[in-house]
Amino acid sequence: MSNKFQALVLEQEDRQTLAEVRELSSDDLPRQEVLVRVHYSTLNYKDALAITGKGRVIRKFPIVPGIDLAGEVVDPGGSAFKAGDLLISTGWGMGEEHWGGLGQYARLDPSWPLHVPEGLDLRKAMIMGTGGFTAALCVLALVNRGVKPEDGPVLVTGAGGGVGGVSVMLLAKLGYEVHAVSGREALNDYLLQIGATQILHRSDLAHESKPLEKATWTAAVDTVGGDTLATVIAQTRPEGIIAACGNAGGIKLNTTVLPFILRGVTLRGINSVTTPMDVRKQAWELIAGNIPEEFYDLLTDREIRLDEVKQTSEELLAGKIRGRVLVNLQA
C-alpha cells in the first residue's frame, strides 16, 4: 500500500466533536491483523450521530468513524484470508471503539469480516451495508418464527430509511403483503415501486396508544422505537412478532404486559453489532439472493466522496435522505 491515505478523523475538544479529513500513514492504523483497502463504506444513522456529535456513540477518541466497509485484502497477516479477497465487515464496535470504514485503508480483527457472497460485488454490498444487513436480520427473525405470506399484512415503520427500505424490498420479494409507514408523502411512489402495497403516514402510529388496540398486523419490522413501537405492539395480532431495531423515535417504550400475556405478542430485539458469523452469512445470502439488480440504484439516495460525509450527516439527521448513502473511498 501507499504509506499515505485519506481518512475522516473525529476528535473531541471541550466536549465538542471535531470531524476532519486528514492524511494518515499506515503507522497510524490500529494493530489489527488484516489490512484492507477500503473501496466503499456507507453513511448510517449511527455514523451521522457520531460525526455530528449529536449522539454519544464514540467510546474512544481520536477515531476513524464508519460502522461498515467493503474492500480488498492487502495483507492478511496471520489470518486465513488471502491477498485479493473481497470482504464485508459490519459491527463489532467499528466506528465506535475501533477505527472504522471511513478511510481508504483499515485494519480488522480476522473474526470480524466475511467474504462477499456470490451475487454481490463491493459496491452492491455497501449499498446494502449495515442498514441492509440489519433489515435482513429483521426479516430472518420473522421467517424463522414461522410467519408466512398468507398469514396477513406485515408492517414496516421508517420505510423511507435504509433499514426500512430494504425490509420492504425483501419482504415483498418473499411474497408478503407489506404496509409501509413514512412521514414523507414525496416517497409514496418510491415505496410502492420497491414493493409496498399500502402506505400509512407516521402520524397514524406515532402517538400515545392504548395497551391493546385493533389487532391488525401479523408481524412488523420497527426501525423507529418510542410511541410508534408501542402502537405497533398494541395493534399486533395474537402470536404475532415485531422485530425492533431502531430508536430514532425515542428509547422509552410506553406499553404494558397486556399485549404479551393476552395476545402472546413477541418483541424480538435485533442486535446487528455482535451477530454470530453463521447468522451473518444467512443474512447476506438472503440479500444476495433476493434483491433485484435494478433495486440497488433505486435504493441509493446518493454516492458521495469522503469530503462530503460531514455535510451529508447533517442532512441525514434532518430527514432529507431517502434510502442509502454510499461513500466511495477511492473517488
- Contact between residue 317 and residue 49 where contact means Cβ atoms under 8 Å apart: yes
One-letter amino acid identity for 239? E
**For 105-144, how does the pLDDT look when each residue is reduced to its tens digit (9 = 90+)?**
999 999 999 999 999 999 999 999 999 999 999 999 999 9
Residues 255-281 have a mean pLDDT of: 97
- Contact between residue 69 and residue 327 where contact means Cβ atoms under 8 Å apart: no
**DSSP strand pairing (4-13 vs 16-25):** antiparallel
CB atoms within 10 A of CB 186: 9
Q: What is the pTM of this model?
A: 0.94
Does any domain span residue 239?
A: yes
User: Do 97 and 222 sit in the same domain of this protein?
Assistant: no
- Give the per-residue pLDDT at 273: 96
Tally of residues, the chain:
331
Q: Total structural domains in the chain?
A: 2
- pLDDT above 90 for 284: yes
* Averaged confidence pLDDT in the chain: 96
Does any domain span residue 281?
A: no
Residue 247's CATH number? 3.40.50.720
- pLDDT above 90 for 1: no
Domain that holds residue 80: 4-116+292-328
What are 83's three cell numbers?
Answer: 491477498
Residue 306's CATH number? 3.90.180.10
Nearest to 262 by CA among 225, 222, 211, 218: 211
Does any domain span residue 124?
A: no
User: Do 94 and 206 sit in the same domain of this protein?
Assistant: no
Dihedral, 118, 119, 120, 124 alpha carbons, nearest 10: -170
User: Do 144 and 217 sit in the same domain of this protein?
Assistant: yes
Does any domain span residue 237?
A: yes
Provide, rounded to the nearest whole percent, the portion of the chain with pLDDT above 90. 92
- Which of the residue ranges 116-120, 205-209, 310-314 would you say has the lowest mean pLDDT? 205-209
